[in-house]
Structure 1
Amino acid sequence: MKLPVSRRDFLQTTALGAAAVSVLPKPLFAAEAGGRLKVGFIGTGNQGMGLIKRVLRFDLADIVAVCDVNEGSHGYRDPGHFYGREPAKKMVEDHGKRHKGKAAHECKAYADFRDLLADPQIDAVFAIVPDHWHAPVSILAAKAGKHVYCEKPLTLTVAEGREIMAAVDEAGVVFQVGSQERSNPVSQFVCNSVKNGAIGDVTRIETVVGYNNKVGPGPGWSADPVPKEFDYKMWLGPAPQVPYHHDRCLYRFRFNYDYSGGQITNFGAHSNDMAHWGMGMDTSGPTEIQCNHAEFLPEGSLFNTATVTSYRCKYPNGVELVCKSSEEKVQTRFEGSNGWMQTGYAGTTASSPELLKGLPDKNGPDGIDPHSAHMKNFVESVQGDATVNAPLEVGHASAVLCHIANAAIRRYPEHGDEVLKWDAEAERFTNSDGANDMLARPRRAPWDDLA
């Protein structure tokens, strides 16, 4: 499929166009006339296919289009997974035939997300793409007048968060960050209990990120031929031009700094977000951050994100947050003057049984799981019946914490026991120009100009 020449050409050919962006109705939703929300999925890999299945299972909206640079292949998280735009299109249409018969709608399949955004029937998009695509997709979707559900972490860099917020504010669209713990009744119970003083004054928080769950090639690796069904040039997009290797893309993108922040952003976008939530500091950040320990693969390995990490932060209220790599199933542990509470994949515990009275089931009273509930909350917010559980500003603050942690980690051990001072309002380090250089990075043309 031929790519549009530029973003400006894209906007000129989009039904809403650049001139209409500032006067979009709130909410912009075709179903106001009695129809249903029509959505497009940008990204049909491991996470994208899982979310598509949930939308179909709970009949949350009509999926009328999918998009991916991969026509269809194996090579995702598990060997048996066959994902991509054609498998996604088939799954949506087969589901419609089984459950709606002749009333089932066609699901279009696009190779370029800008073509999907130019489709006037689409009200909202789910951006389930590698982290280096979150900002370009979100910004152009907002400018096209589409409501946006963007997976976590919100951004690849600190600077991108401000870009997204400016575009969303101008367009007036609904935006949900895919931090589904915000729609998990158990996480809501724990974080709100802590915020409301159940354990007294919070003094310390421990958060956990997982170890790398995939192994890539070491130094001396050689390039692979690009599969014919895979548009590698488009997959790279704003990232540096580098040789193709199958371990660079699809699920494994998260282990290379060109596309992600490793497990610090992958898991930290959940556990650290909950830390901010429980402190009542959803849109703030620490005053200082220090890396205690970090380990990396040998220089020249394809995977270059840290494999083991430990860092600490200090907040204006005196709370110390320590985040570490661990196999523990505890995501977030709150310690206070009158007790402690912790929650994670292994369950929820506390210093006293009284603290857990009223603890709900994670699937909620209607039996809907947190992922699905989070998407349902987005749909209802677009309809005007709710407000998003994970607002843009909240997702930005959580992503910023992960990004500045990576800045400290990548400077370790060369800079030893360096304590980086952070101005959360200005979003700058006050004592390190070198660390500030990591808060933004250039994007390759034509993705360098999204204004």
Structure 2
Amino acid sequence: MLTRRTFFQSSIVAGGSLVAGAPLVLPARLFGAQAPSERVRVGFIGTGNQGMGLLKRFLAAELGEVVAVCDVNEGSFGYKELDHFYGRLPAKQLVEADAKKRIKSGVVPTCEAYADFRKLLDRQDIDAVVIVVPDHWHRIISVLALEAGKDVYCEKPLTFSVADGRPLIDAVRKHKKVFQTGSHERSNPVSQFVCEAAKSGKIGTLQKIVTKVGYNNKVGPGPGWQPMPVPATFDYRAWLGPAPEAAYHVDRCLYRFRFHYDYSGGQITNFGAHCNDMAHWGMGLDVGGPTEIECLDAKFLPAGSLFNTATETRFRCKYANGVELICESGPEMVQTRFEGTTGWLQTGYKGTTASDPALLKDCPPAAKGTSDPHSAHLANFVECVKTRKEPRAPVEVGNSSAVLCHIANAMIRLFPETGPVVAKWDAQNEKFIDNDDANRMLVREVRNPWG
């Protein structure tokens, strides 16, 4: 008998996702009109700043049934902004309040809240998980979810190191699961239009791409900072997990984890995972990488500061097709500019422009509300869970974008000692050629028992 569960766990059917550049319309079958037995049952792992944002969109678009949430934080203020109150109990309350609002009569389903993600993965009634945790947990939780038979949506950057990529790709293909990287610009009609236009030659032969990543948007304590007591509602040991042992400070965790190399890669892996993914997309190189890379500038906080990722940087890549990529810090959070022999196109969070307005004649308007890129990206994932097609940002694409950011960070971290050094990169084998110092940064130590 073909049950809903066995259908979801069948092999992936060959085929593509929705057409790039098509109107951002979410199919009616993804919404609440379908019978409960046909709705995808989902667990959210990580309910902090980004996790709660995705959860709210998932509920607003009625993409499926959220039956469980998980976070090592029971609930607290102080995520991206001081008045943000997030965690597993606020998430549980949000889901149950949404269900109560939608169900006019009968029993309102409950949403289980877990502190340990493994208990959520043990549930056989969960079809898919949305993983929105610090980067150092991405591969570990994703692989365990795949082994538990779940389809996976994992936030970008997909990996924490170059060495994380291959085991994750192998797990996705071995278990025949749908895997979506949270590179939501792949579901943005404007980004689709610009990248496809660059790829198709509408600005002539592509010569140069310039990407922008925002400056650090938080300030942590400087040298001499002191440890703080761990809040009673926060399991700090579980939060650290595979990362090195370290004294607790509120600015080490929650939203600010991204400014510590032990858990993330700064704005290069945060915003850079979007704009540099678009750079690869626009040059028609979804899977692959540069032939050489060079850090041109990097600035850091004083030694002993709690935050240790680069505050400003600029790096250059060259590709086998002759394209040069420059990625640099700036006031724009995300911006990608394609320069060709006959014109240029530029898009980012502040809008889209071109050398000739005629190039933007067919560019769709920016989407808002429940049809924004985040919602559409989640909808594409749910659609693919049902159809078993490949999503817009499959695991190989997410890995290539993350690898570019990781090798950039390797050169950035070496910059204070070496200055500008051109490093040759072997994209097929994912290693530097004749640069042992940089190669040592492609693997991140994993603390037991997670190793």
TM-score by length of 2: 0.91
Worse overlay, 226-235 or 329-338: 329-338
Q: Of 371, 389, 392, which residue of structure 1 is paired with 2:374?
A: 371
Higher relative contact order (CA 8 A, sep 6+): 2
CA drift of 1:362 comes to 2.5
CA drift of 1:329 comes to 6.0
Query: Is the partner of 2:257 in helix, strand or coil?
Result: helix
CA drift of 1:386 comes to 4.8
Equivalent residue, structure 2, for 1:148: 152
CA drift of 1:299 comes to 0.6
Query: Is the partner of 1:39 in helix, strand or coil?
Result: strand
Change (3 A) 1:330 1:261: closer
Query: Is the partner of 2:250 in helix, strand or coil?
Result: coil
Paired AA for residue 258 in structure 1: D
Change (3 A) 1:330 1:80: closer
Query: Residue deviations 1:204-244, cap 9 Å, x none?
Result: 00000111111111111111001010000000000001110
Equivalent residue, structure 1, for 2:386: 383
Structure 1 segments of 4 or more deviating over 3 A?
31-34
Structure 1 gaps, min length 5:
1-15
Equivalent residue, structure 2, for 1:402: 405
Identity %: 62
Equivalent residue, structure 2, for 1:9: none
Does the Cα contact within 8 Å between 1:377 and 1:386 map onto a contact in 2?
A: no
User: Aligned equivalents of 2:402 and 2:448: distance in 1?
Assistant: 25
Please say if 1:165 is aligned against 2:169: yes
Paired AA for residue 380 in structure 1: E
Please say if 1:237 is aligned against 2:241: yes
Query: Is the partner of 2:297 in helix, strand or coil?
Result: strand
User: Aligned equivalents of 1:230 and 1:162: distance in 2?
Assistant: 32
Q: Of 203, 208, 211, which residue of structure 2 is paired with 1:207?
A: 211
Does the Cα contact within 8 Å between 2:150 and 2:177 map onto a contact in 1?
A: yes
Please say if 1:328 is aligned against 2:313: no
CA drift of 1:32 comes to 11
Does the Cα contact within 8 Å between 1:65 and 1:110 map onto a contact in 2?
A: yes
Does the Cα contact within 8 Å between 1:377 and 1:387 map onto a contact in 2?
A: no
Does the Cα contact within 8 Å between 1:27 and 1:383 map onto a contact in 2?
A: no
Change (3 A) 1:330 1:439: closer
Paired AA for residue 185 in structure 1: P
Please say if 1:130 is aligned against 2:142: no
Query: Residue deviations 1:135-159, cap 9 Å, x none?
Result: 1010000000000000000011001
Does the Cα contact within 8 Å between 1:65 and 1:116 map onto a contact in 2?
A: yes
Query: Residue deviations 1:352-381, cap 9 Å, x none?
Result: 1111111102228x9611100000000000
User: Aligned equivalents of 1:147 and 1:417: distance in 2?
Assistant: 42
Query: Residue deviations 1:380-428, cap 9 Å, x none?
Result: 0000075301111001000000000000000003112211100000100
CA drift of 1:33 comes to 9.7
Query: Is the partner of 1:133 in helix, strand or coil?
Result: helix
User: Aligned equivalents of 1:77 and 1:46: distance in 2?
Assistant: 6
User: Aligned equivalents of 1:104 and 1:315: distance in 2?
Assistant: 55
CA drift of 1:441 comes to 1.6
Please say if 1:257 is aligned against 2:244: no
Equivalent residue, structure 1, for 2:63: 60
Q: Of 413, 417, 434, which residue of structure 1 is paired with 2:416?
A: 413
CA drift of 1:328 comes to 3.2
User: Aligned equivalents of 2:394 and 2:365: distance in 1?
Assistant: 24
Structure 2 gaps, min length 5:
14-33
Matches within 5 A, 1:244-283: 244-283=248-287
Paired AA for residue 26 in structure 1: S
